[in-house]
Amino acid sequence: MKLTVIGCGYLGATHAACMAELGHEVLGMDTDRDKILALGAGKAPFFERGLDDLLAKHTASGRLKFTASYAEAASFADLHFLGVGTPQRTGDNAYDLSDLFAAVRRLAPRIYRPTVVVGKSTVPVGTAPRVADILREAAPAGEQAEVAWNPEFLRESSAVEDTLHPDRLVLGFTSENTRAETVLRQCFAKIIEAGTPTITTSLATAELVKGSANAFLATKISFINAIAEVCEAAGADVHQLAEALGHDTRIGHRGLRPGLGFGGGCLPKDLRGFMARADELGADQALGFLREVDAINNRRRARMADLAREQLGGTFKGKRIAVWGAAFKPGTDDIRDSPALAVAAHLHRLGAEVTVYDPKALDNARKAHPELDYADNAFDAAERVDLLLHLTEWPEFTGISPERLATRVAQAKVIDGRGTLDPTRWRQAGWTHRALGRP
Ligand code: UDX
């Protein structure tokens, strides 16, 4: 099949490359020409495992191309996926849909043939009918330009795998658009034939599945982090507790890792956008508990700062701190709403000298926080520091010898915000080891 992907950020670029991998002829479209040039040369403008290989393979084979032209996109295919970003609006917590609607407005007047436009972006429920309205008004094809919704559940750091082998496919349609269903089932045939559960819903349900999934994941993380607060008060260990809880198959271990809380470009924004939409719909009571989920998440960052102050004898003035980790989670160079960088910047504001190291996210961190110092490796970051903070759990940090590191620091004190540094090992190497959620 021929298809386009409008908007080539994390979601769109990954979707485009994976659709080519499924055998389709794909045209990715984005208004950012630098991005188009990079992608066309087989290189993602961000780090995502396996994506560059797919981009290189399919741009070379000619199955995957990129353009900055709506006219080219409209004439290329009769199936368009919308992967345009929907950031948090400044001023309130709702979604900013202006880029998404602008993209549809520019595409619509160029649609002359029967076409299916499929939303993938995360949106407040009720967005799909507004996309349909724009198409009905502006597309020469009129009613023949149909809308469907196919929410995306990929995680950064496993985006390619999640797209090619998703847990489930959700396909939302209006009751009339049976053609859209045929086209989408054909597009995802390989995934469906592999036995992937495929759930067909209304447009509103499809939009809501995505918001609910992210709200649930955020709630699960904040649940275990709330229990971490209780563990801290009671002298118990939340990591052992989570291990024990997760063996109950109704609870499960995945998404139950306690620590510094969630960040990134999705969960925090989607949680707030989901609540804002429920407020508009008059269902604010239903999602009131998500405010607490957000508050618990923010308290983890504050707790880390409090623990650091305590370890430094009550003041940050003139103290040197190393921060391991800048990405919002391991496996990515994404620093959007990164808990690690938020803590680093906060401690700097309180008077500490903060040196950050991250295996992948240093360039992005430098641009966003030029006030912080940066080191090219984990050892140099810790040179003569009074305190080491472990804030993003990259595997390389667990492999570092605490004995060797102890010879570099001014004071051998560490606070583990993610719980992956073995307390016994670090204490045996002479470190004062503290951790969120541990006695
Ligand atoms: C998330 C959703 O998982 C995905 O389905 C959706 O499409 C986009 O948002 P992502 O933001 O890539 O994906 O990361 P995820 O792996 O879910 O982690 C989000 C944050 O939660 C990270 O900061 C991570 O460190 C934190 N986290 C995750 C925990 O603190 N504990 C956990 O058990 C899991």
> Of the candidates 121, 150, 176, 89, which has an alpha carbon nearest to the alpha carbon of residue 10?
121
| Residue 390: predicted pLDDT | 98
Other beta carbons less than 10 A from residue 202's beta carbon: 14
Which residue's structure tokens are 């993610």?
Answer: 418
pLDDT above 90 covers what percent of the chain?
97
Whether residue 121 contacts residue 82, with contact meaning beta carbons closer than 8 Å, is answered with yes
The interface pTM score, or ipTM, of the predicted complex is 0.97
pLDDT above 80 for 67: yes
pLDDT 10s digits, 164-203? 999 999 999 998 867 999 999 999 999 999 999 999 999 9
Please identify, among 172, 196, 220, the residue that sits at the C-terminal boundary of a domain.
Answer: 196
Domain boundary among 166, 196, 226: 196
Same-domain check for residues 368 and 285 = yes
Residue 178's pLDDT is 77
Quote the ligand 1 centre to 382 CA distance (angstroms).
Answer: 28
Residue numbering of the annotated binding site for NAD(+)? 30, 35, 86, 122, 156, 269, 336
Final residue of a domain: which of 168, 196, 224? Answer: 196
At 181, which CATH number? 3.40.50.720
Percent of the chain with pLDDT over 70: 100
Kindly report the average pLDDT of the chain as a whole number. 97
Is residue 55 domain-shared with residue 155, that is, in the same domain? yes
Say how many domains are in the chain: 2
Catalytic residue IDs: 266
How many of the other CB atoms lie within 10 Å of CB of 407?
A: 9
* Dmax (CA) of the chain: 73
Query: Are 284 and 402 contained in the same domain?
Result: yes
The reply to whether 187 and 207 lie within a common domain is: no
Which of the four pLDDT bands, split at 50, 70 and 90, describes residue 74?
A: very high
224 and 343 share a domain? yes
**Whether 102 and 208 share a structural domain:** no
Sign of the alpha-carbon dihedral angle for 159, 389, 369, 260: positive
> And the tokens for 107?
């595409």
How high is the pLDDT of residue 91? 83
SS3 36: helix
* Domain identity same for 210 and 290: yes
What distance in angstroms lies between residue 362's CA and the mean position of ligand 1's atoms?
Answer: 20
pLDDT at 175 (0 to 100) = 84
User: Which residue minimizes the CA distance to atom 17 of ligand 1?
Assistant: 155
Kindly state the average pLDDT of the residues 283-308. 97
Confidence of residue 92 (pLDDT cuts 50, 70, 90): confident
Q: How many whole angstroms from 327 Cα to the centroid of ligand 1?
A: 12
- For residue 271, pLDDT beyond 80: yes
Same domain? 252 vs 333: yes
> Which of 49, 239, 267 for a ligand 1 pocket mutation test, highest count of atoms within 8 Å of Cβ?
267
Model confidence at 276, pLDDT cuts 50, 70, 90, reads very high
The reply to whether 45 and 170 lie within a common domain is yes
- By alpha-carbon position, which residue is closest to atom 5 of ligand 1? 153
The answer to whether residue 237 scores a pLDDT higher than 90 is yes
Contact (Cβ atoms closer than 8 angstroms) between residue 45 and residue 30: no
**Same-domain check for residues 130 and 226:** no
Band of pLDDT at residue 73, cut at 50, 70 and 90: very high
- Structural domain range at position 34: 2-196
Is 209 in the same domain as 243?
yes
118 has a pLDDT exceeding 80: yes
Same domain, 48 and 63: yes
* 90: confidence class by pLDDT, cuts 50, 70, 90: confident
Average pLDDT over residues 420-438: 97
Phi, psi at residue 359, to the nearest 5°? -65, -30
